[in-house]
Structures are given as structure tokens and as C-alpha cells.
Structure 1
Amino acid sequence: MADLFANQAPQDAPPAEPREDAPLADRLRPRALDEVIGQDHLTGEEGAIGRMVAAGRLSSMILWGPPGTGKTSIARLLADSVGMRFASISAVFSGVADLKKAFAEADKAADAGQRTLLFVDEIHRFNRAQQDGFLPFVERGTVTLVGATTENPSFALNAALLSRAQVLILHRLDPQALAHLLDRAEELEGPLPLTAEARDALVASADGDGRFLLNQAETLYAAQIDEPLDPAALGAFLQRRVAVYDKDREGHYNLISALHKAVRGSDPQAALYYLARMLTAGEEPRFLARRLIRMAVEDIGLADPHALTQCMAAKDAYEFLGSPEGELALVQACLYLASAPKSNAVYKAQKAAWKSAKVTGSLMPPQNILNAPTKLMKDIGYGKGYSYDHDADEGFSGDNYWPEEMEPQTYYAPVDRGFEREVKKRLDYWDRLRRERGEG
């Protein structure tokens, strides 16, 4: 059995050299971990992967990062670096039968003294029960699991699986790393038919995705262009990469969080950028209108009461005009919110009042403000002693409106900004009158 495995190529083992007609991205695939571009924080000597390779033993891990950042390449090179058998499956194309087969082959290899690195691409696409199926094989060491995902593991993977694997984060490739990839392509294929400015534009269009960049470069080589293209000609020749954005996944939540925090932080320029990111990526404008309305009441409130009016008007304008014209109304609302005075006093007041209401339960209001629609209710004291504020001096009676078993509370504390500065003056004035009349 040992001889059988010694002479048999590991499942899905990468060929020593790619075919001459293989895609450019495959021909430029790194042959060693130190050739992986842009992930030195993991593959370097001080990185988590570098340390594991130096020790000669891998732990199970989840490689989390954007597309085209080297997850598959790293997994293949890891197996080779520590002398493990490499097997791979894709959660997109594989089911329970494929998993059982992979585990059975790993068991055979283990009997022959050969450890297996099982690479699972798009691991987040397996359902919870399928993810649970990995656990016994990982626990007893049948396989060292290396999963790859573009989704946040906290949301996409079982807690039990995460507790048995180390999450390693791959960075999107920065312009320097992408330019280095193009350098390697040009060493192999010759100069790209681009001006220096167009080359920079090509790097920018990749949006951190090395595989996409190399595919675009391959398209340029195949076209056999005679004269170098400038940025405008390049833009006409190649389609710009669509930004990574899943409306029901982490990209969505990251960008709406960034938009909300930029508005709260009174940075209209950054707020407009994130609004543009979401709209150009295909976000539903009505979702953004709802979030802008939320920002108006949560982060501005009575510091500028017109903020809510602006957002409601923007929502109505969008409904009336549709896209793309109506999106300008959302831009106006976004800029209004970001440049408005900020206060979360209304938001804090709501939370405090809700908490108090739950704690105090069913306390009755004081009798003087109880409704008394019948003679019986009047006879037993409902409404007795109520002071009609419009008949009092300055339109203010100073009566107590709190349940007798409850001390008056302060939920709403306006800030000294925007319109709330005037509200604060008014509340302070009424508090002073209340104290004076109480003392009298």
C-alpha cells in the first residue's frame, strides 16, 4: 500500500509545469510560497503560514479574502511545502458523495502514512449539516482542512468548524502588487501594448483582483494591437471590472456601515463616496432611502428637525422620478445629513424610556390626569385637580405627570448644538418654573 501511494500522484496535484496553451494566470501561478504576491503578512517568516511551514506541521485553516488574492495557490503550495498529499473539492460542484469519497481516500492515505491536505474552495456554500460532516475527520487528523471563502466566516461557517480552524485573512492586492504581477506577465509574454498611463489604469481597473488583471492582460496580448493604447482607448477596449458587492452579504453591510458612520462623523465627501459605491454597484435605492431616514432620526434628531423632512422628500422624489434621475435626491439628502448638526439625544431618550417602561410595568398615571368619561370615574377622583395649562400663567401649570410610585425621570437631554440648543433653553426654563412653583 505504501508503494502504491508513493508512485501515485496525489489527487488534484498541480502539474510541475503548466501547458503552453494554459491561461496566463495558470502559467504565472507561483511555484513556492515566497513567490505569492501581496500576502507577506501570512507567507513571510513571521506570518502564520510561514511559521507553520517552518515547523513542518499545518493546522486546519480558513483562508478568507477577496477573489483573485491567491487562496488556491497558497493551499496547493502548503501541501507541497510540508510533503502532504493534496486533494481539493469545490463546494459549488460537490455534494455529500464527493465528501465521502475525499474522506475515504484520505483514510487510505493515512493508513499508508501519508497525511492529506483537503482544500475546499467556496467552503461557505456548504450548508450547516455538510459543514458539520468535516468535524470528525478534522478532529482525528484524517485531513488538514484548508477552506477558502470570500464571505465573512463569522456569518458563513459553523461555530464548531471555526473553533477547529484558524482564520487567516488575505488582503486585496494593492497597486504595487498588481503592477508586480504585470511585470511577471511581461517577462513571459513581452511588453503590453499600453502607454504608462494606460498601464496604471489597467491596474486600477482590477480592483485588487490579480486573476482578473492577468485575464485582461491576456486579452490584450491575444488582440495583437500594433500601437500602444492610451487610457481612453483601453477603456473602450476592455470592460472595467464590476466591483465586488453582494447585496445580501458582507460587502453590503460593510458599505452601509461606512456610509452611516461617515454621515455621523460629518464628512459629506466620504459619505457621498460610499453612497456612490453602493448605487453604482446596483444597490436598491429604496434601501438607501430607508437608511438615510434612520440616520436623520438616530444621529441628527431635533438638532435639525428638517433633516427628516429632507429624507422623506428625497424618498418621495425618488419614487416619482425613478433611476437614475431620482438618485440625485438621495445625494441631496445624504449631503444634508452629513453637513447637519449632530445629536443622538432622541435615540438615547427612546432607549432609556423603553427600558424604564419595561421595568415599571403597569403603574397607573396620577389621578389628576386620568381620563374620566363617566360619572362613576369622576366620583372616585379620576381627573380631580387637573390644571389646564392654557389657563395658567405663561401657559405652564408645572403639574406632576408621573405615577405616584415613580420618581420623575430624565430621558431626553438635548445637546447644545443646532436647533436642540433652543429646545434645551426651553426645557431649562420650564424646569425652573416647575421648581419655583413647587417651592411656592
Structure 2
Amino acid sequence: MSDLFPEDLPASRPTDEPGADRPLADRLRPKSLDEVIGQTHIIGPDGTLRRMLASGRLGSLILWGPPGTGKTTVARLLADAVDYRFEQISAIFSGVADLKKVFETARTARRAGQRTLLFVDEIHRFNRAQQDSFLPVMEDGTVVLVGATTENPSFELNAALLSRAQVLKFTSLDRDDLDALAKRAEEELGKALPLDDDARQTLIGLADGDGRAMLGLIEEIIAATGPDEILDPAGLAKLVQRRAPIYDKSQDGHYNLISALHKTVRGSDPDAALYYFARMIDAGEDPMYLARRLIRMAVEDIGMADPQALPIATAAKDAYHMLGSPEGELALAEVVVYLATAPKSNALYNAYNRALALAKKTGSPTPPMAILNAPTKLMKSEGYGEGYIYDHDTPEGFSGQEYFPEKIGRQDFYQPVERGFERDIKKRMDYFAKLRAAKRDS
């Protein structure tokens, strides 16, 4: 429950008061940077924007971060702080003709002594040519560009545009930020939220770091509850539809989480690996994509340190096909834990890459004649297969012959580590090396 008790709150706003029917997010829009919740690394006392404003200079910016973190609000407040015109367009609804009009209006305003802050929402939606159109007006001072994007600017924006703007990364609001926002909403509404303590925490979780979504959920709750009704988590779940996590299977959310899953498996942390696996399943990721990535982890990060990792990962993929969802996800979760707790080695991965690099570099040298088959008399007369030693006929089951092409010479690609099953492999390889040296010297 909020620490703002009913007797501490102002009286409820009359329903006929001007602005009472405005969305809560609009009514609570901060009027200064000091009122913005979150992003202290940017707008706090030592934040980037504070230092920029203190210097008396405002340069072009790219505000990168998830929805509902204050990008539009901060852009508006920046214009107020430096007394610039604020012009806003959306890349979704604007084209070249719209940009030309905006630029011409900004030029007119500049001739009248008024600078323009041009805020472009979803700037990554503009194509490369449209992005290039900003460069001249940024360079000659016609506009200070502030673009907002939810996508990684490194991949979505022109290098030329990025070189002329500073990228500021906005982060999702944390639980304390969202709780502060809920308290601010209670002050505005003149009453405490009809939630018990657990339901209040559930609400914060449902917002998933998005302040705008948080206020939208609060409006739903206020509109649907009676005067004396207090909701518990179950009651809240029935009332509001669960928000989908911030996740786009073709964009940053997808790549961030699969990277986190892979690195936690590699780092032998089964609990963290299960968490990121569950995050991706919960967000609607294709389980077959995860199955393929788990197979990749088995061969890349475990390899011969535990040769069972690959068949177990492959079996989990087959198990998912047999069981379907949701039971099949448990088979994949089992593999996540198995891989995370397995001994790790990238020796096979490195060996393959070294062998591949040499194969590309050296072309097509002929293997030693001794290990080539001689299916015809002509080939036998040419020396194919001559001098081949059948390994099983030797006392050690090891002939020690040279198998690399003479042009290349002996190579050492695979270097097993002292972990897991590769310990045993290393002992065998050391034994074979001694036998090979002894036969070569005899």
C-alpha cells in the first residue's frame, strides 16, 4: 500500500474540472527536468544533459531507449530550458515533403532570431536518403535535431548522422521509479490506489519499466473498481490484461536476451541461464530457435569436454517436437541446465576455425599417396596406396604415418584442455605423439 494515506491526500478532483478527462500521462507530464522520474545518469546533477545546459550549448542528440522512459518529455523540456521553438514530427507519418516544410519554417524562425529544436520520434523509420536530408540543416544551425529511437542507432542510423549527434541511452524505469510514479498519480487523483501491498508490486511488474504503460494501467484500475474495493494480485490479474514484455523477435530485445542466455550458459550459471531462457519463452520466442541455439552452444562452448552435450541437446529438440508446448519447453530447460553445468571447452571450435583458415589459404594440395585408394591397375602403378600401413596390424593399433599433404606438413589444430572428457583425450593425444616421434626416429 502507498505510504500516502487517504487523510494525507488532497480531495478528489471534481469530474467537471477542466482537464479532468485528460489522460493521466498528460496530466502528470513534468514541467521541468527536476520533475522527470528516472534517467538520473542523463538529467541528474552530474548528468550529461545538465552539463550540456550548464555550458550554454545544446547540440543534436539521439535519445535511445525503450518505450515509456521519458524521451519525448525530456526533448520538450530541453527546448524550454534553452528557449528554443519546439517542433515535433514522427518518422512514421512524415515524408520528404513534410521535412521540407519543417526545414523552411525553421529557417524563417531563425531569420527572426528564434532557434528550433526539431524532435523526430521513431527516427530510425526514416530511410537512408531521408536521414541524409537532416545533415545540411544540422550543420548550418537551422535546427538542433533531437531524435528518439527504440532501436540500436549503430544499426539503424546513418554513420554521417550519428557523427553529428551525441547518443544518450535511456533505461527502463526501475521499481523505485515506478513506485514514485504511482505515488505521483495518487496525488493527482486525490486517492490511494485500490491495491494491497502485493498487488501494488504486481502492478509495478506488469508495467515492465514503462512509465506510460504504468499510468495507463492505473487508469484502468481506477475506472473499474468500486469505492471500497481493494484488489489483491489475483483480482488485479483479472482486471487488467497482462502486458507483453518489451521484446521484438527481429530487433534488440531478441538479440540482447539470446546473447545473455548464451553467455550465462558459457559462464556456468544455470540459474541465470534459466532466467533468460524463461524470459524468451515468456515473450513468445520460437522454441525451435532456442533449441537450435542450445545445440550451437553444445558444440561451441562444451565440445569434447562433454561429448554427450550435443546428443542431449539434439534429443531435447526431438522431445519438443514430440510433446509440443508447453510440456516441450521443460525438455529445453533441462538442456539449459545441463549445458550450463557441463565442463567447458572451445578447443574444438578453435581447432575447426584454424583448420578452415589453413584450408582456404593453401588451396588443394594432394594428400600423401600412401593414403589414397588404388581401385585401378593404372592408379596402383602410379603409386596410389603404396606404403600404406594398416593401423590395426600394428601392436599399438597406431601406425604413426604422416597424413598431411607434404606441401603443408604436420599441423596442430586441436589442443584439448584439462577439463572434463578432454583430460582423457589429451592423455591419448600425448601418447600418440610419443609413439609418432618414436616411429619417426626409428
TM-score after normalising by structure 2: 0.93
Task: Confirm or deny that 1:341 pairs with 2:343.
Answer: yes
Give the one of 385, 388, 392 matched to 2:387.
385
- What is the percent sequence identity of the aligned residues? 65
* Residues 137, 143 of structure 1: 8 Å contact kept: yes
Structure 2 CA distance for aligned equivalents of residues 224 and 314 of structure 1 = 46
Structure 1 CA distance for aligned equivalents of residues 400 and 18 of structure 2 = 86
3-state SS of paired residue (1:397) = coil
3-state SS of paired residue (1:298) = helix
Aligned partner of 2:246 in structure 1 is 244
CA deviation vs aligned residue, 1:258-285 (integer Å, no higher than 9, x gap)? 1111111111111111111111101111
Structure 1 CA distance for aligned equivalents of residues 324 and 132 of structure 2 = 46
Aligned partner of 2:19 in structure 1 is 19
**Shift of residue 133, structure 1, vs aligned partner:** 1.4
**Ranges in structure 1 where 5+ consecutive residues have no aligned partner:** 1-16
* Residues 224, 239 of structure 2: 8 Å contact kept: no
Structure 2 CA distance for aligned equivalents of residues 37 and 271 of structure 1 = 31
**Shift of residue 339, structure 1, vs aligned partner:** 1.5
Aligned partner of 2:3 in structure 1 is none
Q: Structure 2: which amino acid aligns with 1:167?
A: V
- Using the TM superposition, name which of 371-380 and 341-350 deviates more: 371-380
CA RMSD of aligned residues (A): 1.5
Aligned partner of 1:313 in structure 2 is 315
Aligned partner of 2:79 in structure 1 is 79
Q: Structure 1: which amino acid aligns with 2:440?
A: G
Aligned partner of 1:112 in structure 2 is 112
Give the one of 430, 433, 439 matched to 1:431.
433
**Shift of residue 196, structure 1, vs aligned partner:** 2.3
Structure 2 CA distance for aligned equivalents of residues 167 and 133 of structure 1 = 19
Aligned partner of 1:269 in structure 2 is 271
CA deviation vs aligned residue, 1:391-425 (integer Å, no higher than 9, x gap)? 11121111111222323111011112222122111
Which residues in structure 2 correspond to 1:65-144 (within 5 Å)?
Answer: 65-144=65-144
**Shift of residue 18, structure 1, vs aligned partner:** 8.6
Q: Which runs of 4+ in 1 moved over 6 A?
A: none
Structure 1 CA distance for aligned equivalents of residues 84 and 274 of structure 2 = 50
Q: Check 1:157–1:173 CA distance in 2 against 1; reply closer, same or farther (3 A cut).
A: same
Which residues in structure 2 correspond to 1:297-376 (within 5 Å)?
Answer: 297-376=299-378
3-state SS of paired residue (2:268) = coil
CA deviation vs aligned residue, 1:71-125 (integer Å, no higher than 9, x gap)? 0000000001001000000112212221111111111111111110000001111
- Using the TM superposition, name which of 169-178 and 222-231 deviates more: 222-231
**Ranges in structure 2 where 5+ consecutive residues have no aligned partner:** 1-16
3-state SS of paired residue (1:332) = helix
Q: Check 1:175–1:18 CA distance in 2 against 1; reply closer, same or farther (3 A cut).
A: farther
**Shift of residue 160, structure 1, vs aligned partner:** 1.1
3-state SS of paired residue (1:104) = helix
Q: Check 1:224–1:235 CA distance in 2 against 1; reply closer, same or farther (3 A cut).
A: closer
Structure 2 CA distance for aligned equivalents of residues 92 and 424 of structure 1 = 59
Structure 2 CA distance for aligned equivalents of residues 405 and 206 of structure 1 = 65
Task: Confirm or deny that 1:232 pairs with 2:234.
Answer: yes
* Residues 30, 73 of structure 2: 8 Å contact kept: yes
Q: Structure 2: which amino acid aligns with 1:36?
A: V
Aligned partner of 2:217 in structure 1 is 216
Aligned partner of 2:61 in structure 1 is 61
- Using the TM superposition, name which of 129-138 and 360-369 deviates more: 360-369
Structure 1 CA distance for aligned equivalents of residues 198 and 281 of structure 2 = 28
Structure 1 CA distance for aligned equivalents of residues 169 and 18 of structure 2 = 28
Aligned partner of 1:172 in structure 2 is 172
Q: Structure 2: which amino acid aligns with 1:106?
A: A
Structure 2 CA distance for aligned equivalents of residues 223 and 385 of structure 1 = 89
Aligned partner of 1:5 in structure 2 is none
**Shift of residue 224, structure 1, vs aligned partner:** 4.2
Q: Structure 2: which amino acid aligns with 1:168?
A: L
Structure 1 CA distance for aligned equivalents of residues 170 and 420 of structure 2 = 44
3-state SS of paired residue (1:20) = coil
CA deviation vs aligned residue, 1:192-217 (integer Å, no higher than 9, x gap)? 11122222221122111111111111
Aligned partner of 2:10 in structure 1 is none
Structure 2 CA distance for aligned equivalents of residues 296 and 44 of structure 1 = 45
CA deviation vs aligned residue, 1:325-363 (integer Å, no higher than 9, x gap)? 222221122121111111111101001111111222222
**Shift of residue 293, structure 1, vs aligned partner:** 0.6
Aligned partner of 1:8 in structure 2 is none
3-state SS of paired residue (1:326) = helix
Task: Confirm or deny that 1:196 pairs with 2:193.
Answer: no
Q: Structure 1: which amino acid aligns with 2:264?
A: A
